Amino acid sequence: MNLPLAVVPAANEPSGLGHDALDACFLGPYGENDSLLEKLVVEFLRDHVYWRRNFHPEDPPAIPTRAAQQPGYQAFEAHMRRELHALSAALKKSVPFHSPRYIGHMASDLLLPGLAAQLLTLPYNPNNVSEDAAPVTVEMEVRAGLQLARMLGYPDDPARVDCAFGHLTSGGTLANYQALRLALALKAFPVALRAAGVPRSELPDLPMPGDDWQAFNLGPTASIALLDAWQKWLAALPPAQRREWHARVQAERIETLGLAEFFQRHASLQPPRVLAPVTAHYSWSKGLKLLGLGRAQLELLPERGMRLDADTLRATLERCLRERQPVLMVVGVLGTTEYGTVDPVDRIVAARTAVQPRGLGFSVHVDAAWGGYLATLFRNGDGSLRSRAEVGAGFERFPQPEVHAAFAALGDTDSVTVDPHKLGYLPYGAGAFVCRDHRAMALLAEEADYVFDGAGADDYMARYRRLGQFIPEGSKSGAAAAAVYVTHRVLPLDHAHFGQLPRQTVLATEAFHRRAQRFAAELGDCVHACVPFAPDSNLVCLALNPAGNRDVAGANAFVRRLHEELRCDPQRPLQLKEFFGSMTTLRPEAVGAEDMRRIAAQLQLDPATFDESADRLVILRHTLMNPYLIDRENGISYIDRYFDYLAARVRALA
Ligand SMILES: *Cc1c(COP(=O)(O)O)cnc(C)c1O
């Protein structure tokens, strides 16, 4: 099949997305675009039926036309309807993600192109495990991976030997796990190659590592080069020899031996560590358990100014070098789950550049499950990076220089996790893993695919149509892939198109931040309030302490009571809720002593009251994703309304 490759809009399309177009993007808080969605659903459902009928029109209907009059049929229909009505009624208790009154977790309305593409694809039921079960949507998934690669600054031309590769996962959790799998495979492969006894003279252009430590620390780029040379050497051998050498190396790989046997055979190597910020999502803990390395190998590094402390990272890497402690991967988070803060990806990359030549190699992975799509703000239509001034036009303070530097450095990392089902506004079941150089994927293939010679885009596509070979899952939704691909076609991942969505949310965040400061000033007589740290993206927190209270436990009890009213409560009718918000905590060991003292002072809390019973400060957390927080049609700011509501509740509770 021949899907269009170009991501740039055709000549007759407008060069950017106007406000009018934004109005067509979602079903809308009031269901304003109901007839648009209905038209699409009916049109494509009919289209699907015609497709069935036209497969072999000479085949007569197998279900008789009179079937609908039979008692058994009618009883079944009645039963089905009853259950569906019950489901529909029960779903009315769902969380109203679509409403601008919902500013809680990382969820919002769904983009119409994605929702329609998913609904339209469902009855075809493609299974993206392989091309055999999904002749259309597997290729869409691979192309969606390339669309994301371009957004991140990775090579996205499949004709390039070092083109990136991305695939969808059930979510960010599994994408992070895939990153761990790939990093471990890349790290251990050179060790296996050495152990298999491949003669050094056979790979003359390569720095075949001299010992296990060197092999384990080549770093992803050199490891990929070694893999590439090895595959080329293998491909040139006569078949019998090729099979033999392949089997010899396979037998030494960590994936064959398992961790226990591998480290027993290479006793000079310790199992590698993963370094991640304390703010890392708990999927990293899950990932290390799943990989079998164990949670103890996850070392959490402190933050400074709410971002990974790059100095501590450097010191930790020096320590690892001294102690000959291998590092599997350093994780930076682009949009932390709790605070939306952005780690200094550029400084992580620089730290690696500094230690790699001294013998400590590892992968750099960015967990951008939340913040990945913010990268659209930083990209032009041709994929080039926008300057900080260009990105910042129209914003008050976004992007901070550190934030711009972090996004600019994405292309220098090895892999990224990004969730289309978060800031991509797509239905759940769509996370994504993207790696910078697809050649590494050969190490994850369930069957040897060294026949691949990287000759061009056709090879690339042919290889990844056997998707099930490379991914952690088996059967998976082709409809989800169609939704992601079509959405990226309708809204290309640059600042003028998709970028208009995060733009609205960052603008809303800046408005929220200003309003929060006014709130703090106006309610000074009854509560001390502050935004504990300026938002990096579109998540804003609010810390509160009733006037006169000095201890952390008292402040926490107060914020918990407030949060009770902002929380989803399945026991009470939805309509009784005014607003939805969420809650998180600030731990002194995570935030750092300096920031914690500053925040305590702003809230007039006594820092000495952080103790065993109140070891963290409970704060409100708001995710601003809804594009209608500022309703221009009716002149309503849901941000103002939220703060009015909060003021009333605070006065009542304080
Ligand atoms: C949400 C999130 C995850 C996990 O993603 P799921 O899609 O929920 O599996 C991982 N990392 C970060 C930073 C996240 O925000």
Three-state DSSP state, 348: helix
Q: Which CATH number fits domain 500-653: 3.90.1150, 2.60.40, 2.40.50, 1.10.3470?
A: 3.90.1150
Cα four-point dihedral sign 493, 495, 498, 504: positive
Distance (Å, whole) CA 545 – CA 603: 6
Q: Give the pLDDT of residue 569.
A: 85
- Taking residues 338-365, what's their average pLDDT? 97
End-to-end CA distance of the chain: 65
Q: Give the pLDDT of residue 572.
A: 85
Reported as a single tens digit per residue, the pLDDT across 149-158 is 999 999 999 9
Residue 33, class by beta-carbon neighbours within 10 Å (0-12 exposed, 13-18 middle, 19+ buried)? middle
Which helix (H) or strand (E) covers residue 333, if one does? strand 327-333
Ligand 1 centroid–CA 540 distance in Å is 18
- Taking residues 619-646, what's their average pLDDT? 94
Please answer whether residues 378 and 386 qualify as being in contact, where contact means their C-beta atoms are separated by less than 8 angstroms.
yes
Ligand 1 centroid–CA 379 distance in Å is 23
Distance (Å, whole) CA 167 – CA 1: 18
What are the φ and ψ backbone dihedral angles of 457, each rounded to 5 degrees? -65, -30
pLDDT bin (cut points 50, 70, 90) of residue 589 is: confident
Is the pLDDT assigned to residue 6 strictly greater than 60? no
CA 479 to chain centre: 19
Please answer whether residues 148 and 379 qualify as being in contact, where contact means their C-beta atoms are separated by less than 8 angstroms.
no
Quick one: tokens of 557? 């009890």
Ligand 1 centroid–CA 326 distance in Å is 26
Segments of the chain assigned to CATH 3.90.1150: 500-653
Reported as a single tens digit per residue, the pLDDT across 277-307 is 999 999 999 999 999 999 999 999 998 888 9
pLDDT bin (cut points 50, 70, 90) of residue 455 is: low
The fraction of the chain above a pLDDT of 90, given in percent, is: 84
Quick one: tokens of 552? 């952390």
CA distances from 27 to 32, 45, 112, 156, 373 (A): 6, 18, 6, 32, 21
Nearest-atom index, ligand 1, CA of 428: 7
- Give a three-class secondary structure readout of 501-523: HHHHHHHHHHHHHHHHHHHHHHC
Nearest-atom index, ligand 1, CA of 421: 7
Nearest-atom index, ligand 1, CA of 173: 9
Three-state DSSP state, 647: helix
Please answer whether residues 621 and 498 qualify as being in contact, where contact means their C-beta atoms are separated by less than 8 angstroms.
no
Q: Give the pLDDT of residue 9.
A: 46
Distance (Å, whole) CA 226 – CA 206: 7
Is the pLDDT assigned to residue 8 strictly greater than 80? no
Three-state DSSP state, 585: strand
Three-state DSSP state, 363: strand
Ligand 1 centroid–CA 448 distance in Å is 31
Please tell me the CATH code under which domain 172-418 is placed: 3.40.640
Please answer whether residues 395 and 510 qualify as being in contact, where contact means their C-beta atoms are separated by less than 8 angstroms.
yes
Name the amino acid, one letter, at 628: Y
Is the pLDDT assigned to residue 90 strictly greater than 90? yes
CA nearest neighbour of 574 among 95, 106, 90: 95
CA nearest neighbour of 256 among 526, 504, 446: 446
Ligand 1 centroid–CA 332 distance in Å is 13
CA nearest neighbour of 111 among 23, 227, 8: 23
Residue holding tokens 């991305």?
166
Nearest-atom index, ligand 1, CA of 334: 13
Nearest-atom index, ligand 1, CA of 281: 11
Quick one: tokens of 468? 């099930």
CA nearest neighbour of 417 among 500, 290, 329: 329
Three-state DSSP state, 319: helix
Q: Give the pLDDT of residue 7.
A: 45
CB atoms within 10 A of CB 487: 29
Segments of the chain assigned to CATH 3.40.640: 172-418
Distance (Å, whole) CA 415 – CA 188: 17
Nearest-atom index, ligand 1, CA of 335: 13
Cis peptide before 190 (omega within 30 of 0): no
CA nearest neighbour of 150 among 331, 379, 363: 379
Q: Give the pLDDT of residue 152.
A: 98
Q: Give the pLDDT of residue 449.
A: 62
Ligand 1 centroid–CA 581 distance in Å is 19
Please answer whether residues 534 and 397 qualify as being in contact, where contact means their C-beta atoms are separated by less than 8 angstroms.
yes
Please answer whether residues 460 and 5 qualify as being in contact, where contact means their C-beta atoms are separated by less than 8 angstroms.
no
Residue holding tokens 């289209």?
47
Residue holding tokens 């490379």?
470
Residue 124, class by beta-carbon neighbours within 10 Å (0-12 exposed, 13-18 middle, 19+ buried)? middle
Which helix (H) or strand (E) covers residue 432, if one does? strand 431-435
Alpha helices in 281-429 (DSSP H): 283-291, 310-322, 345-355, 388-392, 401-408
- Taking residues 581-591, what's their average pLDDT? 90
Q: Give the pLDDT of residue 401.
A: 97
32: alpha, beta or left? (left if phi > 0; alpha if psi -120 to 50):
alpha
- Taking residues 35-61, what's their average pLDDT? 97
Quick one: tokens of 305? 């100014």
CA 281 to chain centre: 11
Reported as a single tens digit per residue, the pLDDT across 470-529 is 999 999 999 999 999 999 999 999 999 999 999 999 999 999 999 999 999 999 999 999
Distance (Å, whole) CA 564 – CA 132: 50
Q: Give the pLDDT of residue 11.
A: 47
Residue holding tokens 């790939």?
182
Q: What is the mean pLDDT of the chain?
A: 93
Protein residue with its CA nearest to atom 2 in ligand 1: 369
CA nearest neighbour of 367 among 327, 418, 411: 418
Residues flanking ligand 1, CB < 6 Å: 171-173, 176, 281, 283, 333, 337, 367, 369-370, 419, 431
pLDDT bin (cut points 50, 70, 90) of residue 199 is: confident
Please answer whether residues 554 and 572 qualify as being in contact, where contact means their C-beta atoms are separated by less than 8 angstroms.
no
Distance (Å, whole) CA 224 – CA 222: 5
Q: Could you give the angle at which helices 112-121 and 478-490 cross, rounded to 10 degrees?
A: 150
Distance (Å, whole) CA 621 – CA 339: 8
Report the DSSP pairing between strands 273-277 and 327-333: parallel
pTM of this prediction? Answer: 0.96
By residue count, the chain amounts to 654
CA nearest neighbour of 580 among 568, 570, 591, 594: 568
Ligand 1 centroid–CA 285 distance in Å is 12
